[in-house]
């Protein structure tokens, strides 16, 4: 049947999945940057070059994410809500509630086994409730964002953050550092504050087990643990949680293609 591409242009990172007849062939991730059209081309080219896929072999491309409309070669644009649902249900079929911690928003989805969305809720327009705050604090602490999860788990005495606002959190982090608080304790406090905000969103829409966390934020083990601690139950995380929307887009593309061939 050839290849189907799923391309997720997020506000911070762009992700791509090439799906062949036997499943995922390859994935690609790069910063979104300022030129989203160029970024989309780069994702496609990388997947094509690494796997020897010619333009002729690409049967369908489905784009999603904040900059989906910049993927001018896409056959279809689908919302990231629908794509996350489809991606998660293919990886973790028992999941009914999905928490997507992205750079721009945190979203909570209620889904079914087939990847259909029953309801969803987005965080308010505030970086304090999204993954953006993790990047802000990583920059303040001069550590890589990939490292903060492990660091946070080594905390001995978690700091209590007084604010849920990203801008104020940055100021608060700076003043706490000057008070001699360790990076580990500070990060544990940040994770707790962010997890509390995410939890209030989860509570608003209501939870059906199993619960999964995806998006770039789900790569942060400290955040996942903090949310598990607040909620009192395990949260499933797929192996590459930042890729579920791109995967879902590719699966939707493949389903459409199959339908077309069958008809």
Residues that bind other proteins (CB under 8 A): 66, 77-82, 85, 112-114, 116-122, 124-125, 204-206
Instruction: Name which of 84 and 192 has its Cβ closer to other proteins.
Output: 84
Q: Residue 181 class from Cβ within 10 Å (0-12 exposed, 13-18 middle, 19+ buried)?
A: middle
Collect all residues with Cβ–Cβ distance below 8 Å to 166 and sequence separation of at least 6: 126, 127, 128, 132, 133, 136
Considering the complex, what minimum distance in angstroms separates the CB of residue 141 from other proteins? 29
Instruction: Name which of 13 and 120 has its Cβ closer to other proteins.
Output: 120
Query: Do you know the residue count of the chain?
Result: 263
Considering the complex, what minimum distance in angstroms separates the CB of residue 10 from other proteins? 12
Instruction: Name which of 113 and 260 has its Cβ closer to other proteins.
Output: 113
Considering the complex, what minimum distance in angstroms separates the CB of residue 118 from other proteins? 5
Instruction: Name which of 3 and 66 has its Cβ closer to other proteins.
Output: 66
Instruction: Name which of 121 and 153 has its Cβ closer to other proteins.
Output: 121
Instruction: Name which of 130 and 155 has its Cβ closer to other proteins.
Output: 130
> Can you say how many angstroms the Cα of residue 135 is from the centroid of all Cα atoms in its chain?
14
Considering the complex, what minimum distance in angstroms separates the CB of residue 117 from other proteins? 4
Instruction: Name which of 122 and 153 has its Cβ closer to other proteins.
Output: 122
Q: What secondary structure, in 3-state letters, does the chain show?
A: CCEEEEEEECCCEEEEEEEECCEEEEEEEEECCCCHHHHHHHHHHHHHHHHCCCHHHEEEEEEECCCHHHCCCCCEECCHHHHHHHHHHHHCCCCCEEEEECCCCEEEEEECCCCCEEEEEECCCCHHHCCHHHHHHHHHHCCCHHHHHHHHHCCCCCCCCCCCCHHHHHHHHHHHHHCCCCHHHHHHHHHHHHHHHHHHHHHHHCCCCCEEEECHHHHCHHHHHHHHHHHCCCCECCCCHHHHHHHHHHHHHHHHHHHHHHC
Considering the complex, what minimum distance in angstroms separates the CB of residue 29 from other proteins? 21
Instruction: Name which of 123 and 152 has its Cβ closer to other proteins.
Output: 123
Considering the complex, what minimum distance in angstroms separates the CB of residue 176 from other proteins? 27
Residue 108: closest CA among 217, 243, 232, 234: 217
Considering the complex, what minimum distance in angstroms separates the CB of residue 40 from other proteins? 16
Considering the complex, what minimum distance in angstroms separates the CB of residue 163 from other proteins? 16
């Amino acid at each position: 049947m050839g290849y189907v591409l799923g391309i997720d242009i997020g506000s911070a990172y762009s992700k791509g999945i090439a799906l062949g007849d036997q499943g995922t062939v390859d994935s690609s991730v790069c910063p979104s940057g300022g030129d989203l059209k160029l970024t989309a081309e780069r994702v496609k080219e990388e997947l094509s070059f690494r796997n020897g896929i010619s333009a002729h072999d690409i049967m369908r491309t489905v784009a999603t994410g904040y900059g989906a409309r910049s993927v001018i070669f896409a056959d279809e644009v689908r919302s990231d809500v629908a794509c996350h649902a489809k991606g998660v249900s293919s990886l973790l079929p028992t999941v009914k509630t999905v928490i997507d911690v992205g750079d721009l928003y945190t979203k909570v989805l209620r889904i079914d086994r087939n990847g259909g969305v029953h309801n969803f809720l987005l965080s308010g327009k505030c970086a304090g409730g999204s993954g953006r705050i993790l990047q802000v604090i990583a920059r303040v602490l001069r550590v890589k964002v990939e490292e903060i999860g492990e660091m946070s788990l080594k905390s001995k005495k978690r700091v209590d953050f007084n604010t849920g606002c990203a801008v104020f959190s940055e100021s608060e982090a700076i003043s706490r550092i000057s008070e001699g608080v360790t990076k580990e304790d500070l990060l544990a406090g940040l994770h707790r504050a962010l997890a509390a905000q995410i939890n209030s969103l989860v509570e608003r829409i209501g939870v059906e087990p199993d619960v999964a966390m995806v998006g770039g934020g789900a790569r942060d083990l400290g955040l996942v643990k903090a949310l598990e601690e607040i909620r009192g139950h395990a949260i499933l995380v797929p192996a590459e949680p930042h890729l579920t929307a791109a995967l879902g887009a590719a699966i939707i593309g493949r389903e459409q293609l199959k339908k077309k061939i069958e008809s």
